Amino acid sequence: MAAIATYSEQAYERIRLLLRKGVIPPGHRVSELALSRALGMSKVPVRDAVTRLVGEGLLDKRPGLGTFVAKLDDDEVEEAYDLRIALETLAARRAAAKRTPNDLQALRECLDRMTRFSNALYGSLPDWDAELADNLTQSDIDLHLALFEAAHAPRLCTIARNLRLVTHLARPTFYGEELDDLLRRGDVTLMQHRQIIEAVEAGDGEEAAALTAAHVEKAKQDWLNGLEATAPVLPGSSADDLEETVVASAL
């Protein structure tokens, strides 16, 4: 049973990664058989992972139709951002009070990685490097996760982690934006992260909470204002058609 649990966790994390990368886009049907083949795993851990993701609201099971990647309407996305603001400000406030030297080191390392990827990505414009963009996104996620860990609140960390993925799935990437807007967005994001970490280091919970609220609110407003253009549609119109793409991304 322990081995099955381990495989189920592996399947869960790998499918979450596919969702974050947009390999299986919102609204697309999810085939457990196709995922099992693509991941090189049996159907049992994949089924367990899919069930877990349905429970978390990242997948949507429709009786008689199948399972689909969640596609939130505007009200649901706005609600998710509002919940993020509430939970992440709480995490920042707690982190300022409970952080350890190791927590601060982890936050600084995440910021350093994010700065490197940001400089490399935006320095390559107008060419768009998809791998650098993905590394930048992951470093952003890692930084927020490090902030949750510094709060030393495991349940809060789990809920906030899932909410971040929900808003990420709803947020198209910034293909099509003007060059100046892209550069400005990158500079502002780095500055906001740096200020949040400095407030946590200083033990100023109220400042850390206020900065975090402003940071997530800006992401929400960017989405509401339609600043982000629609990402290109991935090939394939069914889960089986996506199998080759899933294999390349999952291995």
pLDDT for position 93: 97
Distance CA 59, CA 27 (A): 9
pLDDT tens track of the chain, all 251 residues? 445 558 888 998 899 888 877 788 888 999 999 999 989 999 999 999 999 898 888 898 998 889 999 887 888 888 989 999 999 999 999 999 999 999 999 999 999 999 999 888 888 777 778 788 888 888 998 999 899 999 999 888 888 888 887 887 766 544 444 445 556 677 888 999 999 999 999 999 999 999 999 999 988 888 877 644 343 333 333 444 444 444 444 44
Contact 68, 27 (CB under 8 A): yes
To which residue do tokens 């322990």 refer? Answer: 2
pLDDT for position 239: 42
Angle at the Cα of 163 (from 135 to 38), degrees rounded to 5? 55
Distance CA 207, CA 184 (A): 23
Residues with Cβ within 8 Å of 17's Cβ and at least 6 positions away in sequence, in order, are 249, 250
| Contacts for 34-43: CB closer than 8 Å, 24+ residues apart | 34/239, 34/240, 34/242, 34/243, 34/246, 35/11, 35/239, 35/246, 37/243, 38/243, 38/246, 38/247, 38/250, 39/11, 39/14, 39/15, 39/246, 39/250, 40/251, 41/7, 41/10, 41/11, 42/7
How far from 129 is each of 70, 114, 125, 182, 214, CA to CA, in Å? 27, 15, 8, 13, 29
Residues with Cβ within 8 Å of 39's Cβ and at least 6 positions away in sequence, in order, are 11, 14, 15, 46, 246, 250
pLDDT for position 5: 57
| Percentage, residues of the chain above pLDDT 90 | 39
How many Å separate Cα 2 from the centre of its chain? 28
Domains of the chain, earliest start first: 2-71 (1.10.10.10), 74-224 (1.20.120.530)
**Global confidence as pTM:** 0.73
